[in-house]
Amino acid sequence: MKKTAYHHGNLKEEFLEIAFDFIKTESVENLTLKVLSDATGTSRSAIYRHFDSKDALIEKMIVDGLKIFDEVIASALQDEKRSLLDRFYLASKNYVEFAKNNANLYRLLFGKKYSHIREELVSIQDEDCSGFAVLKTTVEEGQASGIFKKDDSYKQTIIIWAAMHGLSLIIIDGFLDTNSDDISDELTNNMFSSIFAGLVTKKVKIASILPFADKLLTPTDM
């Protein structure tokens, strides 16, 4: 990694910036404290004052990374200028795009490798698990408005999240040649329409409340 001049005003933040930049192109497994030392020209002891191990660095990256990710999802779901299904659609698109554009960060946040650290920090059953909590709240809004079927909102939220997560992994890992933009967009649209065809009540006309419906539904569905 090319050494750059740093002001050392806030070394901890500089170390984190370097770490996030590093995993844009390199796997998390290749990230070491030495990478931070080499990039900033600081001693290992300076790094240890902020992160006494790689796990400590990873912990902070997961905390900050989840905040970034949650904002991407929550901002779409909480945009009250849009209809409920519009918000879900945009959140689905944002989710997959985030994974595509930040593949190694996504693997860090949701992969098995560092799950022991993540599980100590957050659980999807926590009230302050912001991204998941906002998704669950929006599902409950859909139930209250009569758009979604009455059911266990936690289970419904898990189904939605599992579909987005699974598709994101398939795309970023390059399975079935799904990493082209055209194919991934088509798959995201198909996933969205399939999920919500099962969630919405029979009385709801999806085409009447979703401007993107012409892209998602067949003429017989509409």
Where in the chain are all domains bearing CATH 1.10.10?
A: 1-52
Where in the chain are all domains bearing CATH 1.10.357.10?
A: 69-216
Task: Look at 16-20, 167-171, 211-215 and tell me which has the smallest mean pLDDT.
Answer: 211-215
Residue among 98, 101, 21 nearest 61 (CA): 21
Query: If pLDDT is split at 50, 70 and 90, which confidence band does 28 have?
Result: very high
- Contact present, 91 and 117 (Cβ < 8 Å): no
Mean pLDDT of 193-208: 74
- As assigned by CATH, the class of the 69-216 domain is mainly alpha
Tokens representing 126 are 């926590």
- CATH T-level assignment (fold) for domain 1-52: Arc Repressor Mutant, subunit A (1.10.10)
> Is the pLDDT confidence value at 18 over 80?
yes
- Contact present, 199 and 148 (Cβ < 8 Å): yes
Task: Look at 17-21, 129-133, 202-206 and tell me which has the smallest mean pLDDT.
Answer: 202-206
Predicted TM-score of the model (pTM): 0.82
